[in-house]
Amino acid sequence: MQLELTAHCSFSIPHGSMYLLALLLPELLHAAVWELKQEMHRRTGSRNAVRLPPHITLIPPLHQPPAFTNDIVPLLTRFAARQMACPVHLEGFAWFQDRTLYVRVTQDAHLQQCHAALYAELRQHLPTVPQPSRPFVPHVTLATRDLPPPLVTGLQQEFAHRAYQATGWLQKLVLFQHDGKQWQEIERFVLPLPPNAQNPG
């Protein structure tokens, strides 16, 4: 299982960079969902399927100036110190229109709270990050935007009958930066587990 990601790299883009913040799946869920993403890549040629490890996006891709990391990393350090890990329940598959196939996240109250708390922090301390313009729908993308249209109907019919279910804890909060070619992990934060945490399933 190989990802084209480099941690803690330094690089420079003249007019700013694109950033993304996500919660990575725990290892067992990561392995299973990564295999699904690889399957989509093999079967459809979708490269967007494998550009990032399996994750739930909290801050979607946004352009910011080079100094952005100096502002957001301390904020996320504070946030991660008091934000407990979120339980995650994955069950089945769904689509956003005809362009995005994803794994459904159910029982998402803790993720909704985490998302709201993060944006409250951003609103107060880093308002250059825009507030969400649509409801937060936690999901784990398998393939998006570059699926060949002739294959979509067949995939929709197939995944309507395929089953997948798993539970775990989301502890890895990761900030990615795009270097002009691929996403690079530049900072990772670990969210503490609640006291006496057990498998959320």
Q: What is the pLDDT of residues 125-174, one digit of tens each?
A: 999 999 999 999 999 999 999 999 999 999 999 999 999 999 999 999 99
Which conformational region is residue 184 in: left (phi greater than 0), alpha (psi within -120 to 50 degrees), or beta?
beta
Say what the pTM is.
0.89
Q: What would the pLDDT profile of 90-122 be if each residue is shown by its tens digit?
A: 999 999 999 999 999 999 999 999 999 999 999
Closest Cα partner for 25 from 60, 58, 53? 53
Q: Is the pLDDT of residue 20 over 70?
A: yes
Which residues 6+ apart lie within 8 Å of 91 measured at CB? 104, 106, 164, 165
- Let me know if 190 is exposed, middle or buried by CB neighbors in 10 A (0-12, 13-18, 19+): exposed
Residue 131 Rama label (left phi>0; alpha psi -120 to 50; beta): beta
Using a 10 angstrom Cβ sphere, with 0-12 exposed, 13-18 middle and 19 or more buried, the burial of residue 168 is buried
Residue 62 to residues 19, 21, 142, 156, 177, Cα–Cα distance (Å): 5, 10, 21, 30, 10
pLDDT in tens, 55-99: 999 999 999 998 999 999 999 999 999 999 999 999 999 999 999
Query: 127, exposed or middle or buried, with CB in 10 Å at 0-12, 13-18, 19+?
Result: exposed
- Residues 83 and 169: their CA atoms lie apart, in Å, by 13
Distances (CA, A) of 130 to 121, 124, 133: 12, 12, 8
Q: What one-character-per-residue DSSP string does 155-168 give?
A: HHHHHTT---EEEE
Q: Which three-class secondary structure state does DSSP give residue 42?
A: helix
Residues above pLDDT 90, as percent of the chain = 86
Angle of CA points 136, 190, 70, to nearest 5°: 80
pLDDT at 12 over 50: no
pLDDT class of 201 with cuts at 50, 70, 90: low
Taking phi over 0 as left and psi of -120 to 50 as alpha, with beta for the rest, 177 belongs to: beta
Mean pLDDT of the chain: 91
| Domains in the chain: ranges and CATH | 17-87+108-138+170-190 (3.90.1140.10)
Looking at residue 15, its pLDDT comes to 56
Q: Is pLDDT above 70 for 47? A: yes
pLDDT of amino acid 152: 97
